Amino acid sequence: MKKLLQTLTETFGPSGYEDAVRAVVMKEIKPLADEVRVDALGNVIARVKPSKGAKKPKRVMLAAHMDEIGLIASHIDRNGFVRFINVGAATGRYTLGARVRFLNGISGVVGFDRLENFDESVSLSKMFIDVGASSPKDCPIKVGDVAAFERPFAEMGKRLVAKSMDDRAGVAVLIETMRGLKSTPHDVYFVFTTQEEVGTRGAATAAFGVDPDIGIAVDVTPVGDTPGSIKMEMKLGAGPCIKIRDVFMLADPRVVKWMVSAAEKARIPFQREVLLIGSTDARAIQLTRAGVATGGLSIPIRYTHSSSEMVDYEDLKNSVKLLAALLGKAVSF
């Protein structure tokens, strides 16, 4: 899974430009699924049919998003510096000083205007991307060109660090779950979604098309285990998190109970997630059509939406185990 995760995280794919990531996903999953299709928004929808003899199989949708946060050029000034705006929740504290790469392969570094107070927080409106140009004529970037963070994958013991762990870690977990799934009583749809970072758009259309009975979003969740962090229970290395609440959704209690029971029976370490910031594809799945019983499996992560997001490898492996436990047995609700 580490090699797969390295490939996924080092692949360029901001919201709306997931083509290269989709190609990696398609190559991995085609031998593992009974059916694979791509919908109008670019979501990859892979179906694994229930085992023969399965009685009243539930249609289960598992979703992990392929896109990452990015930047989009909004103006080229007279000295060739590129002004930009965010694609998704790119923030000043992590964007300043970052190296980025544009879709056309051009690299740049993010700088900032002169500040009177060097301790002040810098907004994106005061930043620019330096691509080595000296005027608009020799600037290789045009208004509308899209960029993402550029950083290599790194291992720090059991901790793995890369840009776009949000949510390539979830994508890797879904692929590894498919790889190990020999049979299931469910009709399972593994969905690799687009444009989550700009409003869970891909999940909304995919869920409408799949029309699942149960939905589970597999994403990352910020932790509360670093100095001075928001007081939250989630931490690295303590197992995958079973979502109970985030800013935009309340998990279905039946799904929470199902996930907790599966983890306890299989003796898989897990955490209860009450998230105080952000949300996931679960919000869109839950509200599709007439409503879907929805929950979330979240991978603890540090430094969310930075170029150096950190996850724990044991959490990834236990996430795969928990999904396998869920898909291995029928559910009554």
CB 9 within 8 A of CB 2: no
Do 306 and 244 fall within a single domain? yes
Structural domain harbouring 56: 2-68+163-328
The token pair at 332 is 């009554």
| Tens-place pLDDT, residues 50-79 | 998 888 899 999 999 999 999 999 999 999
The token pair at 92 is 């000043």
Do 196 and 277 fall within a single domain? yes
* Residue % of the chain over a pLDDT of 70: 98
173 is a domain residue:
yes
Do 102 and 250 fall within a single domain? no
Confidence class of residue 121 from pLDDT cuts 50, 70 and 90? Answer: confident
Distance CA 115, CA 130 (A): 18
Do 221 and 108 fall within a single domain? no
Taking residues 270-277, report their average pLDDT: 95
More confidently predicted of 118 and 286: 286
Pairing of strands 70-76, 82-87: antiparallel
pTM (2 decimals)?
0.94
Do 167 and 289 fall within a single domain? yes
The token pair at 315 is 């959490």
232 is a domain residue:
yes
Do 89 and 188 fall within a single domain? no
What CATH number should be reported for the domain holding residue 80?
2.40.30.40
Do 33 and 106 fall within a single domain? no
Q: What integer best gives the mean pLDDT of the chain?
A: 95
Q: In what order do the strands lie in the sheet with 59-65?
A: 35-38, 44-48, 187-193, 59-65, 214-222, 293-301, 241-245, 271-274
What CATH number should be reported for the domain holding residue 283?
3.40.630.10
125 is a domain residue:
yes
Dihedral sign for Cα atoms in the order 96, 153, 5, 25: positive
The token pair at 130 is 């330096």
Q: What is the pLDDT of residue 118?
A: 66
Residue that terminates a domain, selected from 108, 127, 149 = 149
| Tens-place pLDDT, residues 221-245 | 999 999 988 889 899 999 999 999 9
Using the predicted structure, report yes or no on whether residue 216 has a pLDDT greater than 80.
yes
Catalytic amino acids? 196
Residue that terminates a domain, selected from 93, 123, 149 = 149
301 is a domain residue:
yes
157 is a domain residue:
no
154 is a domain residue:
no
Do 30 and 88 fall within a single domain? no
156 is a domain residue:
no
Do 16 and 135 fall within a single domain? no
| Tens-place pLDDT, residues 291-327 | 999 999 999 999 999 999 999 999 999 999 999 999 9
* Domains identified in the chain, total number: 2
Do 311 and 189 fall within a single domain? yes
CB 7 within 8 A of CB 66: no
Do 121 and 228 fall within a single domain? no
Do 257 and 109 fall within a single domain? no
DSSP three-state, residue 106 = coil
The token pair at 139 is 């600037």
155 is a domain residue:
no
